[in-house]
A = this chain, B = another copy of it.
Amino acid sequence: MISRTMAADLPRHVGEHVRIAGWVHRLRVLKSVSFLVVRDRSGLAQVVLTGPLDVGEETVVEVHGLVTANDRAPGGAEVTGPRITVLATSTPPPFDLYRPTVTATLPTILDNAAVALRHPRLRAPFEVSAASVAGFRAALRERGSTEIHTPKIVGSATESGASVFGVDYFGTPAFLAQSPQLFKQAMVGVFERVHEVGPVFRAEPHDTTRHLAQYTSLDAELGFVADHRDVMALLRAAVAGMVAAVAQDAPAAVALLGAALPDVPAQIPEIHFTDAQALLARHTDTDPRGEPDLAPAHERWLSAWAEREHGSEFLFVTGYPMVKRPFYTHPDPDRPESSNSFDLLFRGLELVTGGQRLHRHADYVAALERRGEDPAAHQDHLDVFARGMPPHGGFAIGLERWTARLLGLDNVRRAALFPRDRHRLHP
């Protein structure tokens, strides 16, 4: 059997007999001739037929034929004199995959993911996701970080705020991990710098365009930091690596969706939480001072301000009040009510949260007691910090949220192959 030629390579094979294979993207029957458009992972190929053919869209076909130059064909070449073999038939797709735009609703797309995602516009976000993850890992590895894999079934909940899924673990109640937080911190004691790309689980009761019950978390943790600024520098490198990888690996996907990749400044501008509040009080008709967090409208305003003032689509907001941050957050030594933590805003939205963590056992016990929590409930977490842990910090990027924001998608579900939410457990 002659080896398969990809659709995009046809122009380089004019005059040769080839074998192509793919899906029936469209069949256009004219009076004396028909055009069969075959789609493979590289693009589209036009096959010219003079006889009849009865195949539905999404039928899988193999075509032997002669590559012939034709200016009006995609890429300037088409397959003529074809011999066509049907490899598998298909029921009619739920909407026309050959049309440039998608009019199907999101539920139709999600219910039919196995076929809907073949539409180039619906597939594109996942090419961007794959490139982003590769860029994330490459940036971390270059900086001496070790990739780790941690348990997703845990004996106790790490993030007190979020809701957890219960698992029956050989008759013992257990939970799905809401983050690898404890484990990545513990592994700083072994490898100093670690990263993990894996699923995290949140039993989100809310049905929003931004939340999933399972998402892919890009986690990093870094030891021997001076403070949260070392973590911010690592995050900046990771984001720059992600954007560069998308530009290199998935430019067609970005262009197809009409998105623009951001510049990542060598130094992302930053503003302290209290300065951000003062700015908002001075320039908007709200006065958020005294509030412990920023509202979405405030994040949008600050993001626009950073673009205006600093020419940056990214903005670090630092020094969030301790009261709104997890118990493992390190306070600002000079202003203990502020934290050594940050959010990274991107195009109006919080994209990443991170910061320096507590690293001394006694500080953990005190922090939990101050919050009225029982240290015994965090035994696994606390034990690690009796073992000699260096000053450290880290961050987590939600992959689906990243991709959606980068490409301007209206729903994070468009960046998840088979999203899981309160109402969706299939397919």
Contact = CB atoms under 8 A, between A and B. Distances in A.
A214 B425 contact: no
Contacts of A198: 198-199
B168 A147 contact: no
A107 interface: no
Contacts of A167: 165-168, 176
A341 to B, nearest CB: 20
Interface string A75-98: 000000000000111110100000
Nearest to A427: B380
A226 B60 contact: no
A12 interface: no
Contacts of A118: 189-190
Contacts of A144: 41
A21 interface: yes
Interface string A326-369: 00000000000000000000000000000000011000000000
Most chain B CB within a 10 A radius of its CB, from A182, A199, A384: A199
Interface string A290-330: 00000000000000000000000000000000000000000
Nearest to A185: B114
Contact of A4 (B4, B224, B387): B224
Contacts of A203: 170
Interface stretch (A65-73, A151-159, A259-267): A151-159
A24 B426 CA distance: 52
Contacts of A191: 41, 123, 126
A383 B115 CA distance: 10
Contacts of A165: 153, 167-169
B21 A388 contact: no
Contacts of A197: 197
Contacts of A213: 153, 169-170
A420 interface: yes
A395 interface: no
A399 B149 contact: yes
Contacts of A141: 134
A280 interface: no
A23 interface: yes
Contact of A214 (B41, B93, B151, B420): B151
B87 A390 contact: yes
Contacts of A170: 203, 213, 422
A106 B192 CA distance: 23
A52 to B, nearest CB: 20
Given A89-B388, A90-B387, A420 B58 contact: no
27 contacts: A4-B224, A23-B388, A41-B192, A60-B390, A87-B390, A88-B388, A91-B387, A114-B187, A115-B189, A115-B388, A117-B190, A118-B189, A118-B190, A123-B191, A130-B148, A134-B141, A152-B214, A153-B165, A153-B176, A155-B426, A170-B203, A182-B427, A183-B417, A186-B427, A198-B199, A383-B427, A384-B427
Given A4-B224, A150-B417, 5 more contacts: A24-B388, A113-B186, A165-B167, A170-B213, A198-B199
By Cβ-Cβ distance, the 4 closest A-B pairs, closest first, are A90-B388, A58-B388, A114-B186, A41-B192
Interface of A: 1, 4, 21, 23-24, 40-41, 58-60, 87-91, 93, 113-115, 117-118, 123, 126-127, 129-130, 133-134, 137, 141, 144, 146-155, 165-170, 172, 174, 176, 182-183, 186-187, 189-193, 197-199, 201, 203, 213-214, 216, 224, 226, 359-360, 380, 383-391, 399, 416-418, 420, 422, 425-427
